[in-house]
Amino acid sequence: MIKPRSRLLPTPMLSVLLLIVWLMLQNSVAPGQILLGAVLAIAIPILTYRFWEPQPDLQKPWRLISYFLRVIMDIIIANLQVSYLILNPRAKFRPAFVRYPLELEEKFPITLLSSTITLTPGTVSAYLTLDGRHLIIHALDVEDEQELIDEIRQRYERPLKEIFEC
Amino acid sequence: MPTWFYPVLEGVIAFFLVAGGLFAFIGSLGLTHLKDFYMRLHGPSKTTTLGVGCVLMASMIYFRATTGHFSFQEMLVSIFLFITAPVTAHLLSKAALHQKLVADSRTRNVPERLEVAEEPDEVNAESSESRLP
């Protein structure tokens, strides 16, 4: 549960996000829709803030944009690679489970990281150990485990760490 | 917009539709071709996302060209998909690991044993009490 700073807007970021999503869903910026969206954006956080865990603050939000662009590019590459592996009858699979030691500590960045791992080339995050220090990853075709770990560390975890923690 | 522009747009829309269909098809093909559960998970969790993404892209361009205003719903659909697909894959593979589903024989480092959360004693005490007559 989070400690609200104000009673009317316990989670200001969530409220803004809800309003934006509502307007996108309705696909209009008519005054009526803005009013209805604002009512929902205020009512929903008040009803649900008890269930929310405190989230780490975004330290460098603008870095998120370059992070998402990189992830989208990687998703496209991932699709081409996986398609190639599926379609090529003689493709050699070297599947493996890799134990990835996490540097991140907060829950939300770990969620983002594991989602990214699932969406990007040849890896699916399979299990988070109970102490939250290791992520078990299933990889479709891996030659050197340390190489895979270093690549994930460089490409995804370090930027996330910068965005959230430093 | 100049009239020559519409055939170009049609081409772009057709490209996205075909690409989306292809990716979705290959992802489904992976479900039948790959050897074990963990490998089959790779197909739908990646290709389907991009497949649907491409179709939504085509839909966005089409409605922008025909009705003249931008529609955001497709963007929302793809964002929700990008959020939910990895979570589903994670839960499925976690369940599979707990069930100890057999992995393909070439798989290295299959986790032998997963630690299980210890149940707090209070819960045990309560449940055992409630079972008493």
Contact at CB, B109 and A119, closer than 8 angstroms: no
Residue A164 CA to residue A58 CA, distance in Å, equals 5
pTM (2 decimals)? 0.77
Confirm whether A2 is domain-assigned: no
More confident site: A40 or B104: A40
d(CA B115, CA A129): 8
Q: Is residue A3 part of a domain?
A: no
- Domain count of the fold of chain B: 1
pLDDT at residue B11 in the model: 92
**DSSP string for A127-156:** EE-TTSSEEEEEESB-S-HHHHHHHHIIII
CB pairs under 8 A between A and B: 123
Tell me the average pLDDT of chain B. Answer: 78
Nearest CB to B39 within list A87, A93, A145: A93
The per-residue pLDDT for B108 is 74
Does residue A44 share a domain with residue A16? yes
Chain A's closest residue to B48, CA to CA, is: A79
Judge: B86–A125 Cβ closer than 8 Å, yes or no.
yes
Per mean pLDDT, which range of A32-46, B7-21, B29-43 is the poorest?
B29-43
Q: Are residues A24 and A69 in the same domain?
A: no
Neighbours of B68 (CB within 10 A): 8
B17 has a pLDDT exceeding 90:
yes
Return the SS3 of A100. strand
pLDDT band at A39 (very low <50, low <70, confident <90, very high): very high
Q: Which residues of B touch A118 (CB under 8 A)?
A: 45-46, 85-86, 89-90
Give residue B124's pLDDT: 46
Number of domains composing chain A: 2
Contact B29 A119 (CB under 8 A): no
What is the model's pLDDT at position A35?
93
| B41: chain A residues, CB-CB within 8 Å | 124, 138
**Domain limits for position A158:** 62-164
Task: Check residue B15 and give its pLDDT.
Answer: 94
Same domain, A115 and A158: yes
Alpha-carbon torsion, ordered B14, B18, B23, B29, to 10 deg: 160
Question: B97, A127: Cβ pair inside 8 Å?
Answer: yes
State the smallest CA–CA distance between residue A7 and chain B in angstroms: 29
- Residue identified by tokens 């923690």 is A165
Question: Is 50 exceeded by the pLDDT of residue B123?
Answer: no
CB–CB of A103/A161 below 8 Å? yes
Within a domain: residue B67?
Answer: yes
Residue-range definition of the domain harbouring residue B91: 5-107
Residues A157 and A120 in one domain: yes
In a mutational test of the A interface, the residue from B109, B116, B118 whose CB has the highest number of chain A CBs within 10 Å is: B109
Which of A25, A94, A95 faces B73 most closely, judged by CB atoms?
A: A25
Quick check: B46 and A87 CB within 8 A?
no
Q: Confidence band (pLDDT; 50, 70, 90) for A5?
A: low
A159 and A84 both lie in a single domain: yes
Together in a domain, A26 and A96: no
Least confident of A19-23, A160-164, B52-56, B124-128: B124-128
- Residues in A closer than 8 angstroms to B99, CB to CB, are none
Closest in A21, A83, A96 to B109, CB measured: A96
Separation between Cα atoms, residue A30 and residue A23, nearest integer Å: 9
**pLDDT, tens digit (0-9, with 9 covering 90-100), for A74-119:** 888 888 888 888 888 777 778 888 888 888 888 888 888 888 888 8
Sequence-ordered alpha helix ranges (H) in A9-157 = 12-26, 31-48, 62-87, 107-119, 145-152
pLDDT of residue B122: 46
Q: ipTM more than 0.90? A: no
From the list B36, B41, B115, which residue is nearest A129 (CB)? B115
CA distance A41 to A17: 8
Exposure letters A36-58 (e unless 16+ CB within 10 A, then b): ebeeebbeebeeebeeeeeeeee
Give the pLDDT of residue A151.
Answer: 84
pLDDT digits (tens, 9 = 90+) for B80-106: 888 888 888 888 888 888 887 777 777
Question: What pLDDT shows up at residue B115?
Answer: 62
Instruction: State the SS3 of B40-72.
Output: HCHHHHHHHHHHHHHHHHHHHHHHHHHHCCCCC
Does A6 map to a domain?
A: no
CATH number for the domain spanning B47: value is: 1.10.287
Based on the domain organization, do A95 and A123 belong to the same domain? Answer: yes
What CA–CA distance (Å, rounded) separates B57 from B40?
26
What is the least distance, in Å, from the CA of A25 to any CA of chain B?
Answer: 6
Nearby residues of B69 by Cβ (< 8 Å), 6 or more positions away:
A27
Q: Is the pLDDT reported for residue B129 higher than 70?
A: no
With CA atoms as reference, report the closest residue to A36 among A45, A26, A46.
A26
Supply the mean pLDDT for chain A.
82
Give a yes or no: residue A109 inside a domain. yes
Q: Is residue B114 part of a domain?
A: no
Residue of B nearest to A85 (CA): B30
Q: What is the mean pLDDT of residues A40-63?
A: 80
Pull the structure tokens for residue B95. Answer: 């369940």
B38, B89, B117 member nearest A130 (Cβ): B117
